[in-house]
Amino acid sequence: MSDNDQFIQRLGYIFKDQALLRLALTHPSAVWEPGSNQQHNQRLEFLGDSVLQLILSRELYEKFPEVGEGLLTKARAQMVNCQTLAEQAIQIGLGDHLRVSRGEELNGGRERPSTLADAFEALLGAIFLDGGYEAAREFVLRQFRGAFGELEVMPNLENPKGELQEILQAKSAEPPTYFLASVSGPDHDRVFECTVHHEGVELGRGRGKRKKIAESQAALAALMTLRQENSYNL
């Protein structure tokens, strides 16, 4: 299997219009070479950024109906930052297939996080144009599954349970405690509901397909409540 075939296999998507793939892989430096009249991937990057924001915004919006705008925005920002996108590009070997200038090559451009992140967005823009929204969505969710799972737990800059404990123990030596409130549904599709308490007061309640997920959701609910009340100077 050739390197190109392996790359296509890692993408999990076959382009109908190969010119779009070539354009997505063309770094601006390649166009600045003497005598070149090629287009580069910055316009696709612009498009891909918007497509990525839309896909992740929709997933977060639908999967976390109780979470407010602030935490949704924070979670999305983590998922689309430069380092995260660069890591996604590395996973599929994107840097090895970029078309860059000789100078960019000598200066390590293929491994530069900003270059990789931009190329990942350009690639997504190309998939969107070639295959439509659903093809782009499938690609994004498949790529992000390794870093953020199935989005069953709210992506957050900190571990919500750890963050909650740190905040509460700054005011009291007593740690938060979690209780299993209920289990519903058939054995193959159970839903757990957990609550988190501190000093005898229920701070939050969460649900999930696993107890651990429900506890994390309860911690997130508690953090939201504490922020809204500002009772812990958050």
Catalytic one among 45, 49, 118, 130? 49
Catalytic annotation present for 49: yes
Assigned token pair, 184: 């519903």
Catalytic annotation present for 121: yes
Catalytic one among 45, 121, 130, 215? 121
Nearest residue to 38 (alpha-carbon basis) of 96, 100, 97: 100
Residue 150 dihedral angles phi and psi, to the nearest 5°: -95, 20
Determine the 3-state secondary structure of 1 from DSSP.
coil
CB atoms within 10 A of CB 214: 26
31 by Cβ neighbours in 10 Å (0-12 / 13-18 / 19+) ranks as middle
Q: Are 51 and 124 in contact (CB under 8 A)?
A: yes
The catalytic site residues sit at: 49, 121
